[in-house]
Amino acid sequence: MLRLVVRRLGSAVLLTLVVTMATYFLVFSNGPGIARAILGKEATQATVQAKVVELGLDQPVFTQYLHWLGGLLTGSLGRSYFTQEPITTMLATRVPVTASLAVIILVLTAVISILVGVAAAVKGGWIDRVLQFVSVLGAAVPGFIVAILLVLTFAVGLHLLPATGYVSPTVSVTGWLSALVLPVLAVLVGSVGGAAQQFRGAVADVLSQDFVRTLRSRGVAERRIVFVHVLRSAAGPGLTILGLQTIGLLGGVVLIERVFALPGVGDLTVSTALQGDVPAVMGCVLFTIVVVVVVNLLADIAAAWLNPKARQA
């Protein structure tokens, strides 16, 4: 088990390095372009060049990346080109918003998908058909479109919920909740559709295994077989499914934050990208990758721990 954890941790760190390096090389490849984006179209060649030197963009990209990496180790991600604010501070104010969204969505996705997936696999019939229908819809219709339809119905049409804005839970818990209802719902349609369908597959796989039939032959109650034995065996694949779901979910959250004007990391990514605030964009990319990697690492380790064979290896 320890060896497995170390190996997975190693590959997670490697993945983070590879992806941040690739992104860094791409977004910092055009130093004069970055400088011009800050100074505006009218800036002369000389002022652009001066800006390039001032920001250290004249150095080889690899040197810049190493410098960025060194800063990362000391807890610094540089400063915004526009506001001079430390990137870490910018992220710190944004992370709670994205985190509340992502955690609520992930938990709800897990709970609903497991229940629906198990019901569809065990009962079949109409539950299964409804699930197929919903997952086709969920897979097909992009989350931000669902979000717009929700705004149109509940905020513009019925005036039930706020269309935009965010309230910190420290200010008002009910305000916080009602600000999150529509965004969460919008992402949930797609993520539940996808995950429940896969959970159904995982549970159906286990249900078709020989040991389930033998348990039935022993007179073990069906409910116990499903909720104890089958779920135990399906938990490993289930965790992997959820790990992969987070990747798509984060992409969905970026768009949702824009639709509902929630000041989260996704919103920051878009606004800084539009502005050309490259260090801030890099910070957002790093945050997203770290979340993806950590969630998948935890899912992997938990899945391995559930499997006695891997646990003892």
Partner 1 sequence: MSVEQITATSVDPEVGGGAVETRARRASALRRLVRNPMAMTCIVFLAALVAVALLAPVLAPYDQNLTRVDLTNAKPFSGPFVLGGDSSGRDILSRLIWASRGTFLACVVVLVVSVVIGVTAGLAAGFLGGWTDRVSGWLSDVVLALPGTVLLIALYTVIGPSILIAMAVFGLLIAPSFFRLVRAVVTQVRRELYIDAARVSGLSDLRIVFRHVLIAVRAPVIIQSSFVLAAGIGIQAGLEFLGLGNPREASWGGILQTSFASIYQNPGAVVAPTVLISLTTLVLVLLGNALRDVLQVTAAPRQLTRRQRTELRDRLTATATPAQAPARDALLSVRDLHIAYPNGDDHTEVVHGIDLDVHRGVIHGLVGESGSGKSQTVFSVLGILPREAVAAGSIVFDGTEILGSDAALRAVRGKRIAYVPQEPMSNLDPTLTVGQQLVVGVRAVKPISRRAARTDLLGLLARVGIKDPTAVFDMYPHEISGGMAQRVLITGAIAADPDVILADEPTTALDVTIQADVLDLLREIRDERGLGMVLVTHNLGVVADICDTVSVMRGGHIVETGDVRTVFAAPSHPYTRELLAAATTAEVH
Residue from 263, 238, 248 nearest 188 by CA: 248
Q: Which member of 4, 5, 9, 15 binds partner 1 (CB under 8 A)?
A: 15
Q: Provide the minimum distance between the beta carbon of 5 and partner 1 in the complex, in angstroms, as a whole number.
A: 18
Q: Which member of 44, 45, 170, 312 binds partner 1 (CB under 8 A)?
A: 312
Residue 63 corresponds to which tokens in the numbers above?
């040197």
Is position 229 an interface residue for partner 1 (rule: CB under 8 A)? yes
- DSSP state letter for 111: H
Nearer to partner 1, 142 or 165 (CB): 142
Residue 269 corresponds to which tokens in the numbers above?
């990514």
Q: Pick out residues in 98-157 that bind partner 1 (CB under 8 A).
A: 124-125, 136-137, 139-142, 144-145, 148-149, 151-152, 156-157
Q: Pick out residues in 26-65 that bind partner 1 (CB under 8 A).
A: 26-27, 29-30, 33-34, 37
Q: CA 36 → CA 28, 269, 272, 277, 292, distances in Å?
A: 13, 20, 15, 11, 33
What's the maximum distance between 2 C-alpha atoms anywhere in the chain? Answer: 84
Q: Residue 28 and residue 12: Cα distance in Å, rounded?
A: 24
Q: Residue 174 and residue 167: Cα distance in Å, rounded?
A: 9
Q: Pick out residues in 190-219 that bind partner 1 (CB under 8 A).
A: 209-211, 213-219
Residue 29 corresponds to which tokens in the numbers above?
């490849």
Site string for partner 1, 155-194 (x = CB under 8 A): -xx-----x-------------------------------
Q: Residue 249 and residue 232: Cα distance in Å, rounded?
A: 25
Is position 255 an interface residue for partner 1 (rule: CB under 8 A)? yes
Size of the site for partner 1 (CB under 8 A): 74
Q: Provide the minimum distance between the beta carbon of 247 and partner 1 in the complex, in angstroms, as a whole number.
A: 6
Q: Which member of 9, 21, 23, 177 binds partner 1 (CB under 8 A)?
A: 23
Angle at 11 (CA atoms; ends 4, 236), nearest 5 degrees: 50
Q: Residue 49 and residue 226: Cα distance in Å, rounded?
A: 67
Q: Which member of 1, 99, 111, 221 binds partner 1 (CB under 8 A)?
A: 221
Is position 266 an interface residue for partner 1 (rule: CB under 8 A)? yes
